[in-house]
Amino acid sequence: MTGHLRRVAEELGTVNTVKSCRFQSEAEILGLPFREYPHWHALLRGRHIGVHRQDGRICNWVARTLKADGNYKQKCLGPALNLNKPHIGFDVAIERAFEWFETGQIKSLSTAARPKGRVTELAVCPIGQVYTVGHALRDYLIWTKMARSAGGHYNNLTLMNYHLVASFSSIPIEDFNGHDLQRLAVQVLETPPKRGFEEPLPRVSIDDLHTDEVRRRKRTFNSLVTILRMAFQYAWENGHLQNERSWKCLHRISVNHSPRTIFLTREECVRLLEACAPSLRDLVLAGLYTGCRVGELGNLRVGDVADKGFGIIVRAFKNSPSRFVFLPAEGMAFFLRCIEGKGPADHVFHSSKGKPWRRQHTLHFRTAVAVAQLPKEFVFHGLRHTYASDLIRNGASLDTAAKQLGHANTLTVMKTYGHFAEQVREQQVADCFSPLSAENQSLVANASAQLNALHQLSSATNWRDYGLVENNTTLPKTVVARPHSLVLKVFSRPNGRH
């Protein structure tokens, strides 16, 4: 790395990310496979250097920057490999990339440049003798880092930084009460979620929210209440709270569950698979054959396939214990084909870069969804819903679906897919009931039109509709939680508006 380039990298905090690039030399570039889209390397969040090696003639350095609208803007920096003509090296390409990133027009279009990497610390350093909410959150994070999965700990940390640190971390923990909880409820309702590299969006009035947005934000609020309750109980156990009021005022609020409605038919599955690159296609097929989460498939090893029977062993993931997932015959054949020539400890699925799948599937999957002309809201986790919905609609019991998905009981499956089970129940009653009255049997032919109309009315829930299940309230029919009265007022609005 040249002296000038090192100064630029040190100023932006990218020394390590620049040094870790896997295509710096001509030999490394020659080792990159040909493909239609560039090989990318992240320098900063939303800033990438790449090599576009499309065929034996075209091989250029490229850079891209993430725009505020979530799309990328790309620029060719010069030839990366040309044995007969002049070309530029890695250092020059990096300098040109940073110069382009700092161009006035490009900088104004782009999101703020930040060092690459996940947030690892609470965004506040609580000080002083008075034990505050910030102190409690910090101490609780030390515990969760040891006690929870890396993903669970990270989710807690991001929720704390986004919703709690700025507004609540300085409150003495002894003074926290129901009015603070009410303020948190209003804040969560009015604050749009932050996705990826997006800058935080402005707050939105509660009256302008759709019912489903309220439902999602209520779940966020409940997650924050759980975090605060655990942190406050931890503080109580460690002697930082003299009374129980602060954590006993923290109650979750019940959520009227909305059934899953976005899943694919078999014809749409075929369209999606045709839109995927080979490595992503295998990952998508695995999701459709097993209903596994992408993290579970990314962790799958060759030794987990067909080890205990006709299926795969899914190792413990998140809060779920290990389980055995049975496979249909074509699914078993697919997995056996995927492990050919690999050792027992090898990962079953790899990205086009030869790395185990982690989170790098997101952009590729979103692109495939667009090419297949599927709803843009459909994400990889929708394959899990597609799998479960297909099982239940074809007569599988809720218990079978729960065990295949790794749920502890059928409650979650009933809430999520119970509307399909009702259709199966209707068909099973029609198929399994023994004839009872010849007189009434003879009425069937005469009343066939009326009976068909009733059948259509019975199935009017339109399970194939991509839209939302109609429900003008987020309040459940039965209150199973004990929300604070002040919070209940925040979430309740007349005429179904929120």
300-328 pLDDT tens trace: 999 998 887 888 888 887 667 888 999 88
Rounded Cα distance between 342 and 90, Å, is: 34
From the list 284, 278, 262, the residue with the least C-alpha distance to 362 is 284
Structure tokens at 303: 């030794």
Angle at 421 between CA 416 and CA 424, to 5 degrees: 155
Range of weakest confidence among 115-124, 186-195, 247-256, 478-487: 478-487
Average pLDDT of 273-292? 92
244-271 pLDDT per residue, tens: 888 888 888 887 666 556 788 899 999 9
Q: Which helix (H) or strand (E) holds 47?
A: strand 47-53
Question: What is the pLDDT at residue 131?
Answer: 93
Average pLDDT of 447-453? 67
- Taking 3-state DSSP, the helix, strand and coil percentages for the chain, each rounded to the nearest 5, stand at 50, 10, 40
Beta-carbon count within 10 A of 64 CB: 21
Is pTM beyond 0.85? Reply is no
In this predicted structure, the answer to whether residue 203 has a pLDDT above a threshold of 70 is yes
Which residue shows structure tokens 């695995």? Answer: 286
Phi, then psi, of 350 in degrees rounded to 5: -135, 150
- In the chain the domains, ranked by start, together with CATH numbers, are 3-115 (no CATH), 133-248 (no CATH), 266-458 (1.10.443.10)
Q: Given strand 72-79, what is the order of strands in its sheet?
A: 72-79, 59-66, 47-53, 39-45, 114-115
What 3-state DSSP class applies to 312? Answer: strand
One-letter identity of residue 212: D
360-400 pLDDT per residue, tens: 788 889 999 999 999 888 889 889 989 988 888 888 888 88
The packing angle between helices 178-190 and 211-237, to 10°, is 140
Question: What is the pLDDT at residue 3?
Answer: 45
Per-residue burial over 167-190, b if 16 or more Cβ lie within 10 Å, else e, is: ebbebebbebeeebbbebbbbbbe
Structure tokens at 65: 């920057």
Rounded Cα distance between 424 and 212, Å, is: 27
Question: What is the pLDDT at residue 369?
Answer: 92
